[in-house]
Amino acid sequence: MIPKGFLFSTVEATIKKPGRKDLSLIYSQVEAYMAGAFTTNKVKASPVKLDMRKIKSGKGRAVIVNSGNANACTGTKGMEDAVEMSELVANSLKSERPLVYVCSTGVIGTPLPMDRIRPKITELVNNLGESSLEDVAAAIMTTDTFPKVIKRRLKIGHKMGVIAGICKGAGMISPRMATMLCFILTDIAVDQETLNKTLHEAVKRSFNRITIDGDMSTNDTVLIMANGMLGNPRITAKSESYVAFKKSLNEVTYELSKLIAQDGEGATKLVEIEVKGARRETDAEKAAFSVANSNLVKTAIYGNDANWGRIMAALGYSGVDLREDKTDIYFGKIKVAGKGLTTGRDEEAGEVLRGKYIKIVIDLNIGKSSAKVLTCDMSEEYIRVNAAYRT
Protein backbone atom coordinates (compact mmCIF):
# COMPACT_ATOMS: atom_id res chain seq x y z
CA MET A 1 0.00 0.00 0.00
CA ILE A 2 2.11 2.85 -1.38
CA PRO A 3 0.88 6.19 -2.80
CA LYS A 4 1.07 6.24 -6.59
CA GLY A 5 4.11 7.80 -8.20
CA PHE A 6 6.69 7.47 -5.43
CA LEU A 7 9.97 5.56 -5.76
CA PHE A 8 12.58 4.77 -3.11
CA SER A 9 16.26 3.92 -2.89
CA THR A 10 18.70 3.09 -0.09
CA VAL A 11 22.47 2.51 -0.13
CA GLU A 12 25.30 2.06 2.34
CA ALA A 13 27.66 5.06 2.48
CA THR A 14 29.36 4.07 5.77
CA ILE A 15 28.55 7.51 7.21
CA LYS A 16 29.05 6.42 10.83
CA LYS A 17 29.56 2.66 10.88
CA PRO A 18 29.70 -0.04 8.20
CA GLY A 19 27.14 -2.78 7.79
CA ARG A 20 23.87 -0.87 7.27
CA LYS A 21 22.06 1.29 4.71
CA ASP A 22 22.38 4.92 5.79
CA LEU A 23 21.62 7.02 2.70
CA SER A 24 18.09 7.18 1.27
CA LEU A 25 16.17 8.86 -1.52
CA ILE A 26 12.45 9.53 -1.76
CA TYR A 27 11.36 10.53 -5.26
CA SER A 28 8.07 11.62 -6.79
CA GLN A 29 7.66 10.92 -10.50
CA VAL A 30 5.86 14.23 -10.87
CA GLU A 31 6.31 17.51 -9.07
CA ALA A 32 4.51 17.47 -5.73
CA TYR A 33 3.04 20.15 -3.53
CA MET A 34 4.98 20.22 -0.27
CA ALA A 35 4.69 21.61 3.24
CA GLY A 36 7.02 21.32 6.20
CA ALA A 37 7.47 21.92 9.91
CA PHE A 38 10.87 22.37 11.53
CA THR A 39 12.57 22.54 14.91
CA THR A 40 12.24 25.80 16.86
CA ASN A 41 15.65 25.24 18.43
CA LYS A 42 17.72 28.38 17.79
CA VAL A 43 20.61 26.08 16.85
CA LYS A 44 19.52 24.58 13.53
CA ALA A 45 21.38 22.06 11.39
CA SER A 46 22.40 23.12 7.89
CA PRO A 47 19.82 20.88 6.15
CA VAL A 48 17.05 22.47 8.24
CA LYS A 49 18.15 25.97 7.23
CA LEU A 50 18.33 24.89 3.59
CA ASP A 51 14.93 23.19 3.60
CA MET A 52 13.28 26.13 5.35
CA ARG A 53 14.28 28.23 2.35
CA LYS A 54 13.22 25.64 -0.21
CA ILE A 55 9.81 25.00 1.37
CA LYS A 56 8.78 28.57 0.58
CA SER A 57 8.28 27.40 -3.01
CA GLY A 58 5.59 24.99 -1.81
CA LYS A 59 6.86 22.38 -4.26
CA GLY A 60 9.31 19.50 -4.36
CA ARG A 61 10.38 16.42 -6.23
CA ALA A 62 12.81 14.50 -4.01
CA VAL A 63 14.28 14.19 -0.51
CA ILE A 64 17.74 12.79 0.23
CA VAL A 65 18.27 11.64 3.81
CA ASN A 66 21.37 10.48 5.65
CA SER A 67 21.62 8.95 9.12
CA GLY A 68 24.68 8.76 11.37
CA ASN A 69 25.61 12.43 11.07
CA ALA A 70 23.40 15.46 11.84
CA ASN A 71 25.45 18.00 9.86
CA ALA A 72 24.72 20.41 12.72
CA CYS A 73 27.18 22.88 14.24
CA THR A 74 29.41 22.38 11.19
CA GLY A 75 29.64 26.01 10.06
CA THR A 76 29.91 27.17 6.46
CA LYS A 77 31.20 23.78 5.37
CA GLY A 78 28.02 22.15 6.66
CA MET A 79 25.83 24.35 4.48
CA GLU A 80 28.10 23.77 1.49
CA ASP A 81 27.78 20.02 2.02
CA ALA A 82 23.98 20.17 2.30
CA VAL A 83 23.73 22.23 -0.89
CA GLU A 84 26.12 19.87 -2.66
CA MET A 85 24.02 16.83 -1.71
CA SER A 86 20.95 18.54 -3.13
CA GLU A 87 22.74 19.52 -6.33
CA LEU A 88 24.28 16.09 -6.88
CA VAL A 89 20.84 14.47 -6.63
CA ALA A 90 19.25 17.13 -8.83
CA ASN A 91 21.93 16.70 -11.50
CA SER A 92 21.61 12.91 -11.43
CA LEU A 93 17.82 13.17 -11.68
CA LYS A 94 18.05 15.92 -14.29
CA SER A 95 15.61 17.77 -12.05
CA GLU A 96 15.50 21.41 -11.03
CA ARG A 97 17.86 22.06 -8.11
CA PRO A 98 15.32 23.83 -5.83
CA LEU A 99 13.12 20.73 -5.87
CA VAL A 100 15.50 18.45 -3.92
CA TYR A 101 15.37 18.62 -0.12
CA VAL A 102 18.06 17.37 2.28
CA CYS A 103 17.66 15.88 5.76
CA SER A 104 20.31 14.58 8.16
CA THR A 105 20.23 12.91 11.57
CA GLY A 106 22.89 11.62 13.92
CA VAL A 107 25.90 12.98 15.79
CA ILE A 108 26.12 16.78 16.16
CA GLY A 109 29.36 18.68 15.53
CA THR A 110 31.07 16.31 13.08
CA PRO A 111 31.44 17.22 9.38
CA LEU A 112 29.74 14.94 6.87
CA PRO A 113 32.05 12.37 5.24
CA MET A 114 31.36 13.75 1.76
CA ASP A 115 34.16 11.62 0.29
CA ARG A 116 31.97 8.60 1.05
CA ILE A 117 28.62 10.22 0.24
CA ARG A 118 29.48 11.71 -3.18
CA PRO A 119 30.22 8.44 -5.00
CA LYS A 120 27.04 6.86 -3.63
CA ILE A 121 24.57 9.41 -4.97
CA THR A 122 24.65 8.14 -8.56
CA GLU A 123 24.06 4.62 -7.24
CA LEU A 124 21.22 5.96 -5.08
CA VAL A 125 19.50 7.51 -8.11
CA ASN A 126 20.12 4.51 -10.37
CA ASN A 127 18.57 2.20 -7.77
CA LEU A 128 15.28 4.12 -7.54
CA GLY A 129 12.40 1.66 -7.33
CA GLU A 130 14.51 -1.16 -5.90
CA SER A 131 13.82 -0.25 -2.25
CA SER A 132 10.57 -0.03 -0.30
CA LEU A 133 9.19 2.64 2.01
CA GLU A 134 9.99 0.25 4.86
CA ASP A 135 13.62 0.13 3.69
CA VAL A 136 13.82 3.92 3.92
CA ALA A 137 12.26 3.84 7.39
CA ALA A 138 15.03 1.44 8.48
CA ALA A 139 17.81 3.43 6.82
CA ILE A 140 16.95 6.69 8.61
CA MET A 141 17.13 5.15 12.10
CA THR A 142 19.79 6.13 14.64
CA THR A 143 19.10 4.83 18.17
CA ASP A 144 15.66 3.60 17.10
CA THR A 145 15.06 -0.10 17.70
CA PHE A 146 12.49 -0.59 14.92
CA PRO A 147 11.34 1.15 11.71
CA LYS A 148 8.26 3.34 12.09
CA VAL A 149 5.67 3.21 9.29
CA ILE A 150 1.96 4.11 9.29
CA LYS A 151 -0.38 3.94 6.27
CA ARG A 152 -4.01 4.84 5.68
CA ARG A 153 -6.33 4.35 2.72
CA LEU A 154 -8.76 7.17 2.02
CA LYS A 155 -11.65 7.18 -0.44
CA ILE A 156 -11.84 10.41 -2.41
CA GLY A 157 -14.92 10.39 -4.60
CA HIS A 158 -14.81 7.06 -6.43
CA LYS A 159 -11.03 6.68 -6.05
CA MET A 160 -8.91 5.20 -3.27
CA GLY A 161 -5.94 7.30 -2.21
CA VAL A 162 -3.17 6.56 0.26
CA ILE A 163 -1.42 8.57 2.98
CA ALA A 164 1.79 6.90 4.15
CA GLY A 165 4.21 8.19 6.76
CA ILE A 166 7.59 7.14 8.12
CA CYS A 167 9.62 8.67 10.92
CA LYS A 168 12.63 8.15 13.13
CA GLY A 169 13.15 9.29 16.69
CA ALA A 170 13.87 7.79 20.09
CA GLY A 171 15.80 10.37 22.12
CA MET A 172 16.12 14.17 22.39
CA ILE A 173 12.35 14.09 22.03
CA SER A 174 10.70 17.22 23.32
CA PRO A 175 7.93 19.55 22.21
CA ARG A 176 8.27 21.84 19.24
CA MET A 177 9.27 18.58 17.71
CA ALA A 178 11.95 16.14 18.56
CA THR A 179 15.17 14.62 17.29
CA MET A 180 13.00 13.24 14.61
CA LEU A 181 12.59 13.15 10.88
CA CYS A 182 9.20 12.43 9.37
CA PHE A 183 8.19 12.03 5.74
CA ILE A 184 4.53 11.81 4.74
CA LEU A 185 3.58 10.90 1.18
CA THR A 186 0.21 10.95 -0.55
CA ASP A 187 -1.06 10.60 -4.09
CA ILE A 188 -4.13 12.69 -3.19
CA ALA A 189 -4.25 16.10 -4.86
CA VAL A 190 -4.33 18.83 -2.19
CA ASP A 191 -4.08 22.58 -2.57
CA GLN A 192 -0.70 23.75 -1.19
CA GLU A 193 -2.17 26.29 1.23
CA THR A 194 -4.56 23.65 2.57
CA LEU A 195 -1.74 21.09 2.78
CA ASN A 196 0.40 23.48 4.82
CA LYS A 197 -2.43 24.43 7.19
CA THR A 198 -3.52 20.83 7.73
CA LEU A 199 0.03 19.59 8.34
CA HIS A 200 0.74 22.23 10.99
CA GLU A 201 -2.53 21.47 12.78
CA ALA A 202 -1.67 17.76 12.76
CA VAL A 203 1.88 18.40 14.03
CA LYS A 204 0.53 20.57 16.86
CA ARG A 205 -1.44 17.69 18.34
CA SER A 206 1.01 14.88 17.61
CA PHE A 207 4.74 15.48 17.16
CA ASN A 208 4.55 18.63 19.29
CA ARG A 209 3.05 16.61 22.12
CA ILE A 210 5.76 13.99 22.59
CA THR A 211 8.45 14.08 25.23
CA ILE A 212 11.02 11.41 26.03
CA ASP A 213 13.66 13.31 27.95
CA GLY A 214 12.92 17.04 27.71
CA ASP A 215 15.77 17.67 25.23
CA MET A 216 15.14 19.36 21.89
CA SER A 217 17.19 18.58 18.81
CA THR A 218 18.69 20.67 16.01
CA ASN A 219 17.44 18.65 13.02
CA ASP A 220 13.71 18.07 13.56
CA THR A 221 11.86 18.05 10.25
CA VAL A 222 8.44 16.96 9.00
CA LEU A 223 7.87 17.06 5.25
CA ILE A 224 4.70 16.11 3.39
CA MET A 225 4.55 15.52 -0.37
CA ALA A 226 1.23 15.44 -2.25
CA ASN A 227 1.82 14.56 -5.91
CA GLY A 228 -1.84 14.43 -7.01
CA MET A 229 -1.41 11.24 -9.03
CA LEU A 230 -4.74 9.90 -7.75
CA GLY A 231 -6.30 12.35 -10.21
CA ASN A 232 -8.94 13.73 -7.84
CA PRO A 233 -10.07 17.37 -7.91
CA ARG A 234 -7.59 19.26 -5.75
CA ILE A 235 -8.76 19.36 -2.12
CA THR A 236 -9.22 22.74 -0.43
CA ALA A 237 -10.53 23.60 3.02
CA LYS A 238 -13.99 23.93 1.44
CA SER A 239 -13.94 20.56 -0.33
CA GLU A 240 -16.32 17.79 0.64
CA SER A 241 -13.32 15.47 1.12
CA TYR A 242 -11.36 17.87 3.33
CA VAL A 243 -12.64 16.62 6.70
CA ALA A 244 -11.80 13.02 5.80
CA PHE A 245 -8.33 14.00 4.56
CA LYS A 246 -7.65 16.00 7.71
CA LYS A 247 -8.82 13.14 9.92
CA SER A 248 -6.61 10.61 8.13
CA LEU A 249 -3.55 12.87 8.27
CA ASN A 250 -4.13 13.44 12.00
CA GLU A 251 -4.32 9.68 12.51
CA VAL A 252 -1.06 9.09 10.64
CA THR A 253 0.88 11.72 12.60
CA TYR A 254 -0.55 10.65 15.97
CA GLU A 255 0.14 6.96 15.36
CA LEU A 256 3.70 7.79 14.29
CA SER A 257 4.05 9.84 17.47
CA LYS A 258 2.96 6.84 19.53
CA LEU A 259 5.62 4.71 17.85
CA ILE A 260 8.28 7.29 18.76
CA ALA A 261 7.19 7.37 22.39
CA GLN A 262 7.01 3.58 22.48
CA ASP A 263 10.59 3.43 21.17
CA GLY A 264 11.97 6.05 23.56
CA GLU A 265 15.57 5.35 24.49
CA GLY A 266 15.59 2.84 27.32
CA ALA A 267 11.78 2.75 27.40
CA THR A 268 9.80 -0.30 28.47
CA LYS A 269 6.34 1.34 28.38
CA LEU A 270 4.38 3.74 26.21
CA VAL A 271 2.61 6.33 28.37
CA GLU A 272 -0.28 8.57 27.29
CA ILE A 273 -1.13 11.38 29.67
CA GLU A 274 -4.49 13.09 29.24
CA VAL A 275 -5.37 16.20 31.19
CA LYS A 276 -9.01 17.24 30.98
CA GLY A 277 -11.28 19.62 32.81
CA ALA A 278 -8.83 22.51 32.31
CA ARG A 279 -9.87 26.12 31.73
CA ARG A 280 -7.96 26.30 28.44
CA GLU A 281 -6.35 23.79 26.05
CA THR A 282 -3.01 25.51 26.59
CA ASP A 283 -3.34 24.86 30.33
CA ALA A 284 -4.17 21.21 29.73
CA GLU A 285 -1.15 20.84 27.44
CA LYS A 286 1.17 22.58 29.90
CA ALA A 287 0.00 20.44 32.81
CA ALA A 288 0.33 17.23 30.80
CA PHE A 289 3.88 18.13 29.79
CA SER A 290 4.80 18.93 33.38
CA VAL A 291 3.81 15.40 34.39
CA ALA A 292 5.31 13.77 31.29
CA ASN A 293 8.68 15.49 31.78
CA SER A 294 8.98 14.58 35.46
CA ASN A 295 11.81 12.09 35.93
CA LEU A 296 10.26 11.14 39.26
CA VAL A 297 7.00 10.22 37.55
CA LYS A 298 8.78 8.38 34.72
CA THR A 299 10.98 6.33 37.04
CA ALA A 300 7.99 5.46 39.25
CA ILE A 301 6.16 4.14 36.19
CA TYR A 302 9.21 2.06 35.28
CA GLY A 303 9.17 0.61 38.80
CA ASN A 304 5.41 -0.15 38.66
CA ASP A 305 4.85 2.29 41.53
CA ALA A 306 1.53 4.17 41.26
CA ASN A 307 3.01 7.15 43.07
CA TRP A 308 0.26 9.66 42.28
CA GLY A 309 1.79 12.14 44.72
CA ARG A 310 4.56 12.77 42.19
CA ILE A 311 1.91 13.55 39.58
CA MET A 312 0.17 15.96 41.95
CA ALA A 313 3.49 17.69 42.65
CA ALA A 314 4.22 18.06 38.92
CA LEU A 315 0.76 19.54 38.37
CA GLY A 316 1.37 21.97 41.24
CA TYR A 317 4.55 23.41 39.74
CA SER A 318 3.24 23.43 36.16
CA GLY A 319 1.98 26.99 36.58
CA VAL A 320 -1.58 26.29 35.39
CA ASP A 321 -4.82 27.11 37.17
CA LEU A 322 -5.97 24.17 39.30
CA ARG A 323 -7.38 23.28 42.68
CA GLU A 324 -5.94 20.38 44.62
CA ASP A 325 -9.31 19.62 46.19
CA LYS A 326 -10.95 19.21 42.76
CA THR A 327 -8.29 17.10 41.07
CA ASP A 328 -8.87 13.41 40.20
CA ILE A 329 -6.13 11.04 38.94
CA TYR A 330 -6.58 7.69 37.20
CA PHE A 331 -4.14 4.96 36.17
CA GLY A 332 -6.11 3.25 33.43
CA LYS A 333 -9.59 2.87 34.93
CA ILE A 334 -8.30 2.83 38.51
CA LYS A 335 -8.99 6.07 40.37
CA VAL A 336 -6.05 6.64 42.74
CA ALA A 337 -6.90 10.19 43.83
CA GLY A 338 -10.29 11.85 44.21
CA LYS A 339 -10.55 15.54 45.01
CA GLY A 340 -6.87 15.53 45.87
CA LEU A 341 -7.09 12.66 48.36
CA THR A 342 -6.11 9.00 48.15
CA THR A 343 -8.70 6.39 47.25
CA GLY A 344 -6.57 3.63 48.73
CA ARG A 345 -6.22 1.82 45.39
CA ASP A 346 -2.50 2.28 44.79
CA GLU A 347 -1.84 -1.47 44.80
CA GLU A 348 -4.48 -2.07 42.09
CA ALA A 349 -3.00 0.76 40.04
CA GLY A 350 0.44 -0.80 40.41
CA GLU A 351 -0.87 -3.82 38.53
CA VAL A 352 -1.98 -1.51 35.70
CA LEU A 353 1.59 -0.25 35.45
CA ARG A 354 2.85 -3.73 34.64
CA GLY A 355 1.41 -3.36 31.14
CA LYS A 356 3.22 -2.03 28.07
CA TYR A 357 0.71 0.76 27.39
CA ILE A 358 -0.18 3.02 30.29
CA LYS A 359 -2.89 5.69 30.19
CA ILE A 360 -2.94 8.30 32.95
CA VAL A 361 -5.98 10.56 33.10
CA ILE A 362 -5.97 13.73 35.20
CA ASP A 363 -9.26 15.60 35.60
CA LEU A 364 -8.80 19.13 36.96
CA ASN A 365 -12.61 19.59 37.10
CA ILE A 366 -12.48 23.35 36.58
CA GLY A 367 -13.18 23.65 32.86
CA LYS A 368 -13.94 21.85 29.59
CA SER A 369 -10.58 21.78 27.77
CA SER A 370 -8.24 18.83 27.35
CA ALA A 371 -4.93 17.72 25.81
CA LYS A 372 -2.94 14.51 25.43
CA VAL A 373 0.83 14.12 25.65
CA LEU A 374 2.82 10.99 24.78
CA THR A 375 5.87 9.88 26.73
CA CYS A 376 7.49 6.74 28.14
CA ASP A 377 9.06 5.47 31.33
CA MET A 378 12.75 5.99 32.12
CA SER A 379 15.07 3.09 32.86
CA GLU A 380 18.78 2.49 33.43
CA GLU A 381 19.03 1.71 29.71
CA TYR A 382 18.43 5.38 28.83
CA ILE A 383 21.69 6.30 30.55
CA ARG A 384 23.60 3.48 28.85
CA VAL A 385 22.37 4.41 25.37
CA ASN A 386 23.21 8.11 25.73
CA ALA A 387 26.52 7.60 27.52
CA ALA A 388 27.75 5.58 24.54
CA TYR A 389 26.03 7.52 21.73
CA ARG A 390 29.20 8.83 20.05
CA THR A 391 31.08 5.56 20.40
* Strand ranges for 131-201 from DSSP E: 148-156, 159-168, 181-186
Q: Which of the four pLDDT bands, split at 50, 70 and 90, describes residue 206?
A: confident
Query: Between residues 194 and 220, which one has the greater pLDDT?
Result: 194
Any idea which architecture 270-387 has in CATH? Roll (3.10)
Burial (CB < 10 A; 0-12, 13-18, 19+), residue 357, is exposed
Distance CA 379, CA 301 (A): 10
> Which residues are known catalytic residues?
179
Q: Which of the four pLDDT bands, split at 50, 70 and 90, describes residue 178?
A: very low
Q: Which of the four pLDDT bands, split at 50, 70 and 90, describes residue 197?
A: very high
- Could you give the residue range(s) of every CATH 3.10.20.340 domain in the chain? 270-387
What pTM did the predictor assign? 0.83
DSSP assignment, residue 178?
A: B
Strand partners, 163: 152, 186
Distance CA 60, CA 1 (A): 22
pLDDT of 360 above 60: yes
pLDDT of 38 above 60: yes
Query: Strand, helix or coil at 11?
Result: strand
Q: Which of the four pLDDT bands, split at 50, 70 and 90, describes residue 201?
A: very high
23: Cα within 13 Å, side-chain hemisphere: 26
User: What is the percent of the chain where pLDDT is above 90?
Assistant: 71
- The CATH number assigned to the domain with range 6-262 reads 3.60.70.12
Q: Could you count the other beta carbons within 10 Å of the beta carbon of residue 391?
A: 4
- Could you give the residue range(s) of every CATH 3.60.70.12 domain in the chain? 6-262
Per-residue confidence (pLDDT) for residue 266, from 0 to 100: 65
Per-residue confidence (pLDDT) for residue 236, from 0 to 100: 95
User: What is the percent of the chain where pLDDT is above 70?
Assistant: 91
pLDDT of 171 above 70: no
